[in-house]
Amino acid sequence: MALAAGRVGPADAIARFTLSATAGERARSPITEFHRWWAERATIERFSVTRVPFRELDGWHLAGDSENLVHRSGRFFSVEGLRYRGDGPGEQSQPIINQPEIGILGILVKEFDGVLHCLMQAKMEPGNVNTLQLSPTVQATRSNYTRVHQGNMPPYLEYFRGPDRGQVLVDVLQSEQGVWFWRKRNRNMIVHLTEDVPEHEDFHWLPLDQIHQLLKTDNLVNMDARTVLACMPLARPSTADCSPDDPFAWALLNSYDEELGLHTRTEILSWFTESQTRCEWSVQRIPLSEVTGWSWSDDDLAGGDEAPFRIIGVRVNAHNREVTNWSQPLLEPLGHGLAVFLAKSIGGVVHFLVQARKEPGLINVVEMAPTVQLPAVAGAVCDQGAVAYAMEAAAADPRRVRFDALLSEEGGRFHHGQTRYQIIEVGEEFPVEVPDEYCWMTAHQLMGLLDHSHYLNIEARTLLACVHSLW
């Protein structure tokens, strides 16, 4: 009945993640070694990406009456339409990416000299602004591993599937962008190995603290890595490992204490239930032909001046991917996004101000989001709180901006999609009382929700991973 010898129980997993997040000198190699490897990876040209007109997208076409943009295999993904009735009068419609299959975003972890390290990949994606980004061990759509495109299997996939896989420490479905994807979910996995695995030149072992520090570099740690990192629960680090030099940083450590918090877990779950109950949005997928206000040119599918994105086509010539050449559509956000957690020390404990935000492509419409997330969703009421918090973020004293980086969204689907992620400290004068759609939570409380689907949206998960970089 006891756990099998050598297996990692849940509490033990937290202890190992926490030790890895304070590895310091105990790392297998110093961060300089990472930079040397990374620079070398970056010199190898493996990819060229060219914008092409839609008629040159090999294998893609507009399907019959729906005029959905689909692949001839019927798999991968398609560009379809979405119509919804939001908070106000009238309906909105827009194109949306439909990718019903659930992929795997997985990180292999293994101890070296007692310190857990993550096997991270230097991976290229066609939409990346800088081609190469630091990615999970495995990033595989179901089409990848069921071999729809007849390419090679991604390395290390076998450790995540089938009877011989390693011990699963995390395995949870998490949503992706609810304004760009129709009910997309991926499987976020962390698998623990004790045996040796083959080395591969595109992969490098890093302890968590090194990865957390790399989050501060613009466009380095990719979205898929960030969401998996967010699902690794951490305990409060010991002060021997982590001894901060200002009151905010001390209060941040208290945010990892399971006993502390303005609200109980029951209150937080009840607040979220209330937010879901209040939401009366109705959403339906429609044929792309029925989306209003959007039109095709040779080169793009574009909305009016207010449209936050357009759809384009690219051709990719690659040298070391599963298939060598392909072409595909990409969604190009027009302008950078913004995602901000306002953070306040309440009773000596840092709390993050979480928003119950509606996005039409999310399965439950409502998920927990950053305090400020822009662009706003069309059809959502922008309440006084949202405006006030956005102004607070914009006017913040730079010394209170605790985290600030421009990070990329998924380069396999989005062309140069970048979001500015910020964690901004607010002061004593900032009210604890907040509007109904907002709730203060500690880091511990946020982490606890990530055992389950449908709580934190992808932007909130990225910011939670960034919180860990402030130790």
103 to 224, 233, 260, 318, 337: CA distances (angstroms): 11, 22, 36, 22, 25
Residues 192, 47: Cα–Cα separation, whole Å: 32
Q: Which is nearer to a second copy, 239 or 264 (CB)?
A: 264
In angstroms, what is the minimal distance from the CB of 243 to a second copy? 23
State the minimum distance, in angstroms, from the CB of residue 84 to a second copy: 13
Nearer to a second copy (CB atom), residue 172 or residue 197: 172
Decide: helix, strand or coil at residue 134: strand
Nearer to a second copy, 53 or 64 (CB): 64
Least distance (Å) between residue 266 CB and a second copy: 6
Q: Closest separation between CB of residue 154 and a second copy, Å?
A: 16
Write down the least CB distance from residue 373 to a second copy, Å: 23
Least distance (Å) from a second copy to the CB of residue 151?
21
Look-up of token digits 């629960």: 233
Q: Which amino acid makes up residue 384? A: Q
* 13, 460 contact by CB (below 8 A): no
β-bridge mates for residue 404, sequence order: 422
Q: Are 93 and 100 in contact (CB under 8 A)?
A: no
Which are the contacts of 99, defined by CB distance < 8 A and separation ≥ 6?
Answer: 76, 77, 78, 141, 181, 182, 184, 413
CB of 171 to a second copy, least distance (A): 4
Which residues, at least 6 apart from 72, have a Cβ–Cβ distance to it below 8 Å?
Answer: 59, 60, 61
Give CA–CA dist 72/76, Å, rounded: 10
Shortest distance, position 174 Cβ to a second copy, whole Å: 10
Query: Within 13 A of 204's CA, how many CA atoms are on the CB side?
Result: 25
Q: In this complex, which beta carbon is closest to a second copy, that of residue 92 or of residue 345?
A: 345
3-state class (DSSP) for residue 72: coil
- Residue 31: both structure tokens together: 């961060």
E strand or H helix at 169, and its extent?
strand 167-175
Residue entry with tokens 């936050």: 308
If we measure between CA atoms, which residue out of 362, 395, 407 comes closest to residue 380?
362
State the Cα–Cα distance between residues 408 and 387, nearest whole angstrom: 25
Q: Residues interacting with a second copy, by CB under 8 A?
A: 1, 3, 9-10, 13, 100-102, 142, 168-173, 187, 260-262, 264-267, 269-270, 273-274, 276-277, 280, 282, 284-285, 346-349, 363-364, 451-454
Return the number of the residue (274 or 299) whose C-beta is nearest a second copy: 274
Cβ of residue 325: shortest distance to a second copy, in angstroms?
28
**Smaller CB separation from a second copy, 63 or 134:** 63
Residue in this structure with the two tokens 């560009």, named with its chain if needed: 79
Q: Between 244 and 448, name the residue whose CB sits nearer to a second copy.
A: 448
Interatomic CA distance for residues 50 and 52, integer angstroms: 6
Taking the least distance from each CB to a second copy, the nearer of 319 and 452 is 452
Nearer to a second copy, 43 or 266 (CB): 266
CB 10, min distance to a second copy, A: 6
Selection from 315, 279, 340 nearest residue 53 by Cα: 315
CA dist 93 and 338 (Å) reads 23
Spatial CA neighbour of 117 closest among 187, 45, 238, 33: 33
CA dist 2 and 311 (Å) reads 53
Which residue, 94 or 174, has its beta carbon nearer to a second copy?
Answer: 174
Closest approach of a second copy to the CB of residue 9, in Å: 6
Which residues have C-beta within 8 Å of that of residue 146, sequence separation ≥ 6?
Answer: none
- CB of residue 433 to a second copy, shortest distance in Å: 13
The residue among 102 and 381 lying less far from a second copy, judged by its C-beta, is: 102
Closer Cβ to a second copy, 366 or 393, answer by number: 366
SS (H, E, C) 278-289: HCCCEEEEECHH
Omega of the bond prior to 375 within 30 degrees of 0, cis?
Answer: yes
